[in-house]
Amino acid sequence: MQNETIQVIPINRIRIINPRTRNQKIFADLVENIAKIGLKRPITITPSDDIGCYDLLCGQGRLEACKMLGEEFIPCRVIQANSEESYLISLVENIARRKHSNIELLSGIKLLDERGYKPADISRKIGFSQSYINGILHLLNAGEERLINAVEKGIIPLSIAISISRSDDKDVQKQLAELYDDGTLKNSDIQKIRNIMHRRNLSGKKVNSALSNNTRSQIYSAKTVLHIYKEETQRQQMMIKQADYDEKQLFIILSCLNKLFADKYFQLVLRSENLDDMPKDLSERMLKQQEGNLYA
């Protein structure tokens, strides 16, 4: 692809090769904005096979808005690109827009993947994290048609669909989607439940393998999934309370030890019994407490 130039091109010479439907309210706001302050960013075009004409790569909304306002010419970013490059430029620039649809994002990433682009390359091109791209590819490659349909219909966010699709058990996926849809679970709950079920499945496989290789995986109802989640949440809360209690007890012990070691007579007794050294970890914790940094 050669260097680009900025030119003012007649609107009637620009052809929209991949027309897109758009939200009429958003388009009306765009027309009003351009009417007030003008076009802030040129559209992107490339010379077509017809001499003197151009194919639009990016900027359909701006082009149609200027046409509606009666403009005959429009500032353009003109680049030299073959059909393959033109397609990819149009695809990448439209996905990178802030207001792309889930369908555009899913289909666009799928096409880039099919054309040999690695997740890291796709991430750089469209401005999404590589982990997010990997999640979308997992959703597509796993054939999660039900989840993809739910995303396209706006039933669940794409991020939640990715999280659900990573669950090992298909029945768990179904129940998580239903529980999110009816408002029982929040976004933050989905990842927690998926991790819980994953751990249970791993431990279950180990037990089952010792008993029988033909043991069927457990089927989870919505009630069971919720029960497991609540049970695990309570267990984690107890662990947090226990850790807090242990930390307070350790604080008391360290305080006592620091007071004892500050007593020169106590130090003499330890030396007389050849007990004047201590574990390194304990010594460091005592020193940190003395400096007042233990709970910083």
Residue 151 has pLDDT above 80, yes or no: no
Q: Structural domain of residue 53, as residue ranges?
A: 1-99
Please write the tens of the pLDDT for every residue from 13-47: 999 877 777 778 888 989 999 999 999 889 999 99
What is the average pLDDT across 86-107? 70
Within a domain: 190: no
Whether the pLDDT of residue 279 is over 70: the answer is yes
pLDDT score, position 122: 86
Residues 168 and 198 sit within 8 Å (Cβ to Cβ): yes
Give me the pLDDT at residue 152, please: 66
Of 124, 134, 92, 130, the residue nearest 111 (C-alpha): 92
Token pair for 273: 């019994």
Q: Is position 127 within any domain? A: no
Instruction: Evaluate if residue 69 carries a pLDDT over 90.
Output: yes
Of 8-12, 110-114, 250-254, 271-275, the range with the highest mean pLDDT is: 8-12
Please check the confidence at residue 66 and state whether its pLDDT lies above 90.
Answer: yes
Mean per-residue pLDDT over the chain, rounded: 75
- Among candidate residues 99, 124, 151, the one where a domain is terminated: 99
What pLDDT does 131 receive? 83
Q: Which of 68, 99, 130 is the last residue of a domain?
A: 99
Tell whether 91 is covered by a domain.
yes
| pTM summary value | 0.45
228 in any annotated domain: yes
Residue 44 lies in a domain: yes
Q: pLDDT (tens digit, 9 = 90+) per residue, 236-277?
A: 677 788 888 888 888 888 888 888 888 888 888 877 777 777
- Nearest of 194, 205, 186 to residue 232 by alpha carbon: 194
CATH at residue 51: 3.90.1530.10
Q: How many domains in the chain?
A: 2
Residue 227 lies in a domain: yes
- The verdict on residue 43 lying in a domain is yes
Average pLDDT over residues 203-222: 41
> Among residues of the chain, what percentage have pLDDT more than 90?
16
Residue 114 covered by a domain: no
Residue that terminates a domain, selected from 76, 99, 122: 99
